[in-house]
Chains A and B, each alone.
Chain A
Amino acid sequence: MKRPGKILAALLAASLCAAGLSGCHGRQEETAEFAVPDEFDTSRNYEITFWAKNDTNKTQTDIYRQAIADFQELYPNITVDLRLYTDYGDIYNDVITNIATDTTPNVCITYPDHIATYLTGENVVVPLDDLMTDETYGLGGSRLLFQSPEQSQIVPQFLDECMIDGHYYALPYMRSTEACYINKDYVEALGYTVPDVLTWDFIWEVSDAAAAKNPDGTFVLNGQDVMIPFIYKSTDNMMIQMLKQQGAGYSTDHGEVEIFNDATEDILYTVAEHTDTGAFSTFKISGYPANFLNAGQCVFAIDSTAGATWMGSDAPLVDIAEEAITQFDTEVRMIPQYDPENPQMISQGPSVCIFNKDDPQEVLASWLFTQYLLTNDVQIAYSETEGYVPVTTAAQESAEYQDYLSRAGEDNNQHYDVKIKAAELLLEHEDDTFVTPVFNGSTSLRDAAGQMIEEVTKSVRRKETVDDTYIQNLYSDVTALYHLNDYNTPSGEKADLGPLPGTAVALIAGIAAVWLLIILYLIREKMKKQRKKQ
């Protein structure tokens, strides 16, 4: 089982490398801006590479392979080479490296945040606007060999997430959000009832109660030595959603960092308070929420809906010994809210982008495959592997998908009820989802948001004092670590870099002096020649 550290470090390193991507020396000549060809040249053969992410899930990789096989049957002149990843960070890292050597893949599963960084290179990622609306090969195009969705059939919120600076640079592939997976038996044993909409106050109160210990050091609730009532998998998302729900600053659309505000401070103090009671911990500090939940060592586990198959006593995927699994009823709810009447939750999940190439026909071949990933067969099959939802209304409303949803609980594999409940949660709340602004550096800001919660949690566990001085130092540390000041310039504007260094002034003055002397010399020589002629 891979630990998070190295992957995150790689992501940070890639972010920093990418910050200077536009000036990268290793890159070959820039590729020309892509223009949609009038006709797809089927007399030629194309080999395109597809870098795909899966959730360490063999069924998902099989679906990718099946999609490729089906597509190649329709387009025998296009060969798709699949490269599998299990982590977005690794894809991002490799793409950054390959931009420098002009060896990017053709089609790539990615996050819009990452695309914003790729876009710091000129003509690296293909804008999809013209491709999407092309009557022949665009969405629902007349000469496609498969049933492609119309643009209007892509869920608008999900499509909008792929727009950067007024252009579409990706198509959504799958969408998920976060859910709270709850040991209902424990909540009721503590004298509470699971509400339809969780609030943060409720979560903290019940979690504090669940942290009570017996005189012998075991926990009252489970009689075990271990109990972490509330575990959050992605503390990035935790901070982002808590801020959004309070209407507090995170960043502007143009990339100005606003995260260091009073609401953030309150959140960090709240995290500190409930870490101190033993109510709260994180994935990075303690381990996977699902493992604690399934072992009866956790009451509230917040993780992606795309992790639903790991959650609950009857989960089809497990990482702990069979004898360690406890029996309990699992409830699935939205993440806790500050305002239950106006719930807000993050929208996340893979999107697909296309990298530009010298040959427009090759790009067109890539586009055809990208569209194929939005066909009903692929969308429905992949979404059923986890608590994902299809990104097209065509798939969501299809009889096949509706039948799948209606059969929740029929078995503990394809129709595992926790997984389907998680998917339904997003389907019912598509209008309540949001995404954070995308800009070069948004990945770093996201990492910084989570790191602050991680640091506070660790510090409290280590009996360090979390006070105003600590918080201010933390702000400084994450600003430096994630280079937040380096990115903190609205896009399209030039940063004020301060006065020129003295050495630069000397350099410019020296060059000017040389030119002046050369000009003076030339004038003098010319005057001499004129005198000689006279």
Chain B
Amino acid sequence: MKKKVLSMLLALTLVFALGGCAGGGNSSNTTGDNATAEDNKQDTAGDTSDDASADVMSYDEYMAADVDTEVTVEAYVQATQSWWEDKATIYAQDHDGGYFFYDTACSEEDYDKLVPGTKIRVTGYKTEWSGEVEIQEGTFEFVNDGDTYIADPTDVTEYLGTDEIENYQNQFVSFKGMKVEASKDADGNDAAFLYNYDGSGTDGDDLYFNASYNGQTYTFTIESYLCDSSTEVYAAVKNLQIGQTIDMEGFLYWYEGVNPHITSVTVVQ
């Protein structure tokens, strides 16, 4: 009988002890770091009605805004490029133009909801990095008005090499009838594609390849954050042959000039 009492006492003590462990965990949540995490949470997405739509800029107003000013736009997600440490990088578009949202505050849970077509309202600073016009360090809200939009690619092949193409920056675009041209690695060898711009990379790194139209050659990129080595387009580029004719789709990113981030390649000939 007394043994049972002792066992019970021991068990109860351990239960209290375990409670103490759990409580200890909670107590550590009172540190400043967690307070910061909570603060950050407030910056991530919520849902919104249309109340704030009066502050939303049209695409033209956004483009006319000065760099380093705060802007608010509404657009539809076309692709997500990366998520890291509660920051997302997103390609978006409305019926008038394309947007690149760089390092937008976003929880992983919300990031999973950013499927193509989703309408979001983004507030952040308009910036320009090496020619790429974007909204940096923004916050966003889901706009639940039932409206969705997935852009059809705009064929910009004819605009390659012209100033006109800049008007399509960040949009989902296509290039038709391009001929795969040789890239030269650092040893001067011909290659249909390179890992990194000069062939210094390995599988999993960005792919670079050249294609020509009307006798002019342009460089295209498979951005490994946007389309990693497991994607069809990554495999397709690795199988390209010099001289093939291809159609491509992708986003018109900018880095010191046009630098399309290709998302699909189809060999047509």
Please report A residues at the B interface, Cβ cutoff 8 Å.
Answer: 1-3, 5-6, 9-10, 12-13, 54, 56-62, 83-84, 86, 285-288, 291, 319-321, 324, 458, 461-463, 480-481, 483, 501-504, 506-507, 510-511, 513-514, 517-518, 521
Contact = CB atoms under 8 A, between A and B. Distances in A.
21 contacts: A1-B259, A2-B206, A5-B87, A5-B89, A13-B85, A56-B198, A58-B198, A60-B200, A86-B205, A286-B128, A286-B129, A319-B255, A321-B257, A324-B256, A458-B68, A501-B27, A503-B23, A510-B16, A513-B13, A514-B13, A518-B6
A9 B102 CA distance: 13
Contact of A503 (B24, B32, B199): B24
A504 B256 contact: no
Closest 10 CB pairs of A and B: A58-B186, A503-B23, A507-B20, A287-B130, A503-B20, A461-B68, A58-B200, A9-B85, A501-B27, A58-B198
Contacts of B185: 58
A506 B16 contact: yes
A400 B219 CA distance: 38
A286 to B, nearest CB: 7
B196 A56 contact: yes
Contacts of A59: 186
Interface in B159-208: 185-187, 196-202, 205-206
Contact of A10 (B17, B84, B103, B130): B84
A332 B188 CA distance: 30
A61 B200 contact: yes
Nearest to A504: B24
A341 to B, nearest CB: 38
B268 interface: no
B201 to A, nearest CB: 7
B129 A3 contact: yes
B255 A501 contact: no
A62 B186 CA distance: 9
B165 to A, nearest CB: 13
Interface in B40-88: 68-70, 82, 84-85, 87
B10 A56 contact: no
A507 B22 CA distance: 11
A462 B200 contact: no
Contacts of B196: 56, 86
B115 interface: no
A285 B257 CA distance: 17
Interface residues of B, number: 50
A480 B36 contact: yes
Contacts of B13: 510-511, 513-514
B187 A58 contact: yes
Contacts of B255: 1, 319
Contacts of A501: 23-24, 27
Nearest to A6: B84
Given A54-B200, A58-B198, A58-B200, A504 B20 contact: yes
A60 B205 CA distance: 17
B172 to A, nearest CB: 20
Contacts of B2: 521
Interface of B: 2, 6, 9-10, 13-14, 16-17, 19-21, 23-24, 27, 32-33, 36, 68-70, 82, 84-85, 87, 89, 102-103, 125, 127-131, 185-187, 196-202, 205-206, 225, 255-257, 259
A220 to B, nearest CB: 20
A476 B206 CA distance: 37
Main secondary structure on chain B at its contact with chain A? mixed
- Which of B6, B13, B70, B202 is the most central at the interface, judged by chain A CB atoms within 10 Å of its CB? B13
Given A286-B129, A320-B256, A56 B200 contact: yes
Contact of B6 (A56, A84, A517): A517
B17 A511 contact: yes
A287 B129 contact: yes
Contacts of A514: 9-10, 13-14
A324 B125 CA distance: 28
B235 to A, nearest CB: 21
A54 B199 CA distance: 12
B102 A506 contact: no
A58 B20 contact: no
A483 B32 CA distance: 10
Contacts of B20: 503-504, 506-507, 510
Contacts of A504: 20, 24
Contacts of B19: 503
Contacts of A324: 256
A6 to B, nearest CB: 5
B201 A84 contact: yes
Contacts of A86: 196, 200-201, 205
A9 B259 CA distance: 24
A462 B68 contact: yes
Contacts of A506: 16-17, 20
Contacts of B16: 506-507, 510
Contacts of A511: 13, 17
Contacts of B68: 458, 461-463
A10 B127 CA distance: 23
Nearest to A318: B256
Given A58-B187, A501-B27, A503-B21, 19 more contacts: A2-B225, A6-B82, A9-B85, A58-B186, A58-B199, A62-B186, A86-B201, A286-B128, A288-B130, A320-B256, A461-B68, A462-B68, A480-B33, A501-B23, A503-B20, A507-B17, A511-B17, A518-B6, A518-B10
Contacts of A320: 256-257
A504 B21 CA distance: 7
B129 A9 contact: no
A319 B102 contact: no
